[in-house]
Amino acid sequence: MSDTPHGIRMIDVGAKPVSLRTARASGRIIAQPETIRRIRANELEKGDAIATARLAGIMAAKRTSDVIPLCHPLPLDSVTVTLGFEERAVTIEAIVRATARTGVEMEALLAVSAAALSIYDMCKSIDQGMSIEGVRLEEKTGGTRGEYRRE
């Protein structure tokens, strides 16, 4: 019988070697073309959605262990959040690096999610039909399981 409720436990990573870990995640927020135009032109009532989303993503990555219950708190070496545009979407990519005993996949995924939610929040008064889609891990490096790259 487990000493924790329902077998929930944080994995002991103490014996794992410290190595450079990286993760790249992506996602997008789909919106009306006029909403995308207003984001690009910095014409939103709340201000600069791109700068706000970038900051939200970075802040979220740094606080991942506060949001995802079984994640280890990690000292991150770097977090980069990049946003781009398509006719009906804002694309989001996050790259997270840490020298640690466990990976940074969750940090990258949370950075993308928070950036998308930030844009949603800033645009919800003008476009209630927005959707956040395709949040996924694109690649990771480091650790005992080695590299992963989405085909």
Q: Which residues are catalytic?
A: 121
Using CA atoms in the order 84, 133, 103, 99, what is the torsion angle rounded to 10 degrees?
20
DSSP assignment letter at 126: T
Contacts with 54 (C-beta within 8 Å, 6 or more apart), sequence order: 81, 82, 83, 115
DSSP assignment letter at 84: E
Helix (H, G, I), strand (E, B) or coil at 97: strand
> Can you tell me the distance from the alpha carbon of 12 to that of 15, in angstroms, rounded to the nearest whole number?
8
